[in-house]
Amino acid sequence: MKIVVLDGFTLNPGDLSWSGLEALGTVTVYDRTPKEDIVSRIGDADAILTNKTPISAETLAACPSVKYIGVLATGYNVVDTLAAKERGIPVCNIPTYGTAAVGQFAIAMLLEICHHVAHHSDAVHAGRWSSNVDWCFWDYPLIELEGKTMGIIGFGRIGQRTGEIAKALGMRVVAYDAYQNDAGRAIGSYVDLDTLLKESDVISLHCPLFPETKGIVNASSIAKMKNGVILLNNSRGPLIVEQDLADALNSGKVFAAGLDVVSEEPIRADNPLLTAKNCIITPHISWAPKESRQRLMDAAVSNLSAWISGKAQNVVNP
């Protein structure tokens, strides 16, 4: 079996092994694949794995040997799943590898907003503490989270993990999700979206990107939020209308934002959030701890192995 990995660098920049895939066939790994090289690099491969390299209907028509598509991520919008289904090609994603890491990162952004740890450490190393007339100093308001309300939009695995950590910090957790379950009720209370917007001191986005969730944070929804709310997003960038959030940050309606995703990645130099007040932006790294990436690698191998054995799993286009 010929296996081609079209963009393997972000998953494995050198600290993991491709040996699991190599046990299943002849593997060719490309760090990145430009659009113009997709068809030639796939060639006569039986199985292809992609993270962000698009697989279109035209690509599949030009590569008739492809029988399996593995997505090295949870989101699979880079693949024309309908075209794949029409050709009898299963598209398999990896749904659960990053739960712990992404939940942890959401809280990490929140704690940085609350304490500005990096800034104050830099200030100490620059000599400001040793030359200070008082025994302590701080440059930003410091925020205690206990007793405040965390509102989570999208209360699936990652949203619930984020809620568990928030609850451990003494926060009240409320959640908005179309699908309610007992696991969620054990962590917080389900409420309607307007109630969540009205009552939350912190709002964290963990919903998938669907037509109904695109732009869910916009001028209208921001107006319903508390003055001084904190907003977190390490789910999908287009959940936010970025100019509306930038305006709210600059006016002070939103106190601060912690974002690990934006609408276009890599971020455009003219993105209005780059110059907005109190806006932390990180380069889509919530998913990237080595432990999380190893789970992703193991799941990718498991998906391909299951398909080879005739029992395909995690198929998103059944």
Q: Measured between alpha carbons, how far is residue 8 from residues 27, 198, 208, 289 in Å?
A: 12, 43, 24, 15
Across 30-134, the runs of DSSP E, i.e. the strands, are: 47-50, 68-71, 91-92
Token pair 């709310």: residue = 229
Among positive and negative, which fits the CA dihedral 238, 241, 242, 248? Answer: negative
Look at residues 6, 216, 260 and name the one whose alpha carbon lies nearest to residue 112.
260
**Can 265 be counted among the known catalytic residues?**
yes
Active-site hit among 128, 265, 268, 291: 265
236 a catalytic residue: yes
> What architecture (CATH level 2) is domain 2-96+290-308?
3-Layer(aba) Sandwich (3.40)
pLDDT of residue 121: 98
Active site residue 284: yes
Q: What residue spans in the chain does CATH classification 3.40.50.720 cover?
A: 2-96+290-308, 99-281
pLDDT digit string (tens) for the chain, length 318 residues: 999 999 999 999 999 999 999 999 999 999 999 999 999 999 999 999 999 999 999 999 999 999 999 999 998 999 999 999 999 999 999 999 999 999 999 999 999 999 999 999 999 999 999 999 999 999 999 999 999 999 999 999 999 999 999 999 999 999 999 999 999 999 999 999 999 999 999 999 999 999 999 999 999 999 999 999 999 999 999 999 999 999 999 999 999 999 999 999 999 999 999 999 999 999 999 999 999 999 999 999 999 999 999 999 999 999
The CA distance from 68 to 65, in Å, is: 9
Superfamily of domain 99-281: NAD(P)-binding Rossmann-like Domain (3.40.50.720)
- DSSP secondary structure, 297-316, as one string: HHHHHHHHHHHHTT---SBS
Q: Which of 236, 242, 293, 295 is catalytic?
A: 236
Helix then strand then coil, in percent of the chain rounded to 5, is 35, 15, 45
Across the strands, what pairs with 315? 92
- H/E stretch holding 258 reads strand 254-259
Output the pLDDT for position 163. 98
